[in-house]
Amino acid sequence: MSLLRSLFSPRHPMRTFALLDSYGVCRAFKQSSQAPEGLGWIEVCEQRLNWLNRPLPAHAKIAPVVTYSNRKKPLAA
């Protein structure tokens, strides 16, 4: 029954992240539904093994999505 339920449950899409060192060189890849913790991880459009140990091309980086709260800030008196 759990197998059937898992087939129809909503899934989080897998995203691809690259770990960059201080020089901007790609050191590792990771696929996850959410961003990894730690410094140096950026989201990329795809995973290519030929990017390892090289600087990432400009088109590979995905700009982070900025979300804003729907709550309005109180006005200063």
Average confidence score pLDDT of the chain: 84
**Is 24 domain-assigned?**
yes
Using DSSP's 3-state secondary structure scheme, residue 5 falls into: helix
Domain-located, residue 20: yes
pLDDT at 73: 64
For residue 21, tell me if it sits in a domain: yes
Distances from the Cα of 26 to the Cαs of 19, 33, 62, 65, in angstroms? 6, 20, 15, 21
Count: domains in the chain: 1
pLDDT at 23: 92
In a domain, 2, yes or no: no
Question: Residue type for 65, please?
Answer: V
Task: Compute the half-sphere exposure of residue 3: CA atoms within 13 Å on the CB side of its CA.
Answer: 0
Burial, 43: exposed, middle or buried (Cβ in 10 Å; 0-12, 13-18, 19+)? middle
Q: How confident is the model at residue 31 (pLDDT cuts 50, 70, 90)?
A: very high
Q: Is 7 inside any structural domain?
A: no
| pLDDT recorded at residue 65 | 62
Which pLDDT value is given to residue 75? 67
Give the range of the structural domain holding residue 48, as residue numbers without chain letter: 12-59
In-domain check, residue 39: yes
User: Using CA atoms, how far apart are residues 73 and 53, in angstroms rounded to an integer?
Assistant: 45
| Better-scored residue on pLDDT, 76 or 22 | 22
